Amino acid sequence: MSSPRTYGHWRKPQAPGIGRLSGALTVGVFALLILMVLVQIIAGIIPALVLGSIGGSLGLLFARKDVHGVSLAGKIGERMRFWRSRRRGENLYRSGPLGVTGGAFLLPGVLAPTNVADFVDGFGRDFAVITTGRAGTFAVVFACESEGASLVTQDQVDTWVARWGQFLARLGEEPGLVGASVVVESAPDTGSRLQREISTHQAENIPALAEQMLSEVADIYPYGSASLRAYVTLTFENHLGKGTSKTLDIEEAGLELATRLPSLSQALTGTGAGFVRPLDAAGLGRVVRLAYDPGAQEVFDDALASSEAVTLGWNEVGPSATQANWDNLVHDNAVSVSWVMSAAPRGIVQSNILASLLAPSPRIARKRVALLYRPIEAGRAGEIVEKDKNAASVRVSSSANVRARDEVALAHAVASAAEEAAGAGLENFGMVITATTTSDAGDVKDMVDAVGSLASSARIRIRKCYGGQDAAFAISLPLGIMPGRYSVISESVREAL
């Protein structure tokens, strides 16, 4: 019997530095020493020591980090940004007749400039293209009826994982593609779908006992059950990689993406995603509306059970009110808390490592787990892994007391470089978890504890999105929001710090 297949060697990019110092702090230390020498020559030893004390104190704000890798300066920045936004009233949002949106229920925050339009792909399927305003991207969403791993062999699961890896590697070669996300959402099942299935397939003149049994099944089975949905979102640059810097309008983008969607959906089919179909504007609006207003699910399910169509325009899917607090988001009739993954599982894991985190939980009413991917172009991947390997080597060779963690990091960097040279793709990835419950304080605390337990079972380290709950909530939706597009700090500076 063969041993189970394992996965691992995830690394967080980090600029080279001396010892435990980051790249930026290493440069800062040398710059401070040079300034101290110049000040000593010009003004004497006392001013030089004062300059060194001030510079050292500022350096400690960036050097001292918690278990999540967040420095004291970063925490101070979080507090100041949230305090400023609350002072300006930017954490409050009102829409509808009593709001400032002209009676429409527009989306708040980073989702405000988004818009959607429907097109038809090469297979004759309707699909929606999402535009993100100043972020300069287009996005398309696939709904997946995932097959699950309960009744399949481990060999089949390994095949799905391998094909998913091939799909991710392909993304780095897709023209204009800058990001992808997988959102797995669990929510209570109202039972309307089961009742509709029974009523539409029930034969006439059936025995009374059978009719009574089916009626009891429709009433009892949905109690306490949950539905699980998965979405794959692909985000493209607004020129779609057509070899020009010309920005395409949504009509041009829709026509171009219509030719690409068939092959992309076929590539997803072999990954265990099951039946894959693109979402149109109506389906996408339903997903967003239920995220902000969970109480509307019964209305949608009842309409579906009675074969009635509920069509919402993009200016009708937003919440009527939101309030972003320091550690949660209040929206309509619910409260949500969002976390971001600060560390991937250490060591090696098996393919089911996220099973408990993705599965429905009786302690969490609604939950979304969003895996965010940013593919790296195949032409740049080799350069990046070599630079990462050199940085890890410098960190080991420049330290007098080498930590075991640094030696393991070097071994992983060498392994990643070898795998990339053998043809593997390279991805930047992250995770956002959003849990939603009613406005009862006891439910919120129990929900937070439940998510912490699930994250521990998945061997990931998570941190609440303090001061950014509204943005994290939006990022966890399958709308193709790229967090880096909204950051005032470049990626290279973040890695250096």
For residue 411, the enclosing domain spans 93-189+225-496
- Return mean pLDDT, the chain: 83
Token pair in block for residue 488: 């005032």
In contact, 376 and 179? CB cutoff 8 Å: no
Give a yes or no: residue 18 inside a domain: no
Give a yes or no: residue 352 inside a domain: yes
Give a yes or no: residue 203 inside a domain: no
Residues of the chain with pLDDT under 70: 1-2, 13-23, 190-202, 211, 214, 216-225, 241-245, 304-307, 398-400, 439-442, 488-497
Q: What is the pTM of this model?
A: 0.87
Give a yes or no: residue 82 inside a domain: no
Q: Which pLDDT tens digit goes with each residue over 135-148?
A: 788 999 999 988 77
Give a yes or no: residue 277 inside a domain: yes
Give a yes or no: residue 171 inside a domain: yes
Give a yes or no: residue 215 inside a domain: no
Give a yes or no: residue 76 inside a domain: no
Among 116, 140, 477, 439, CA closest to 290: 477
Number of domains in the chain: 1
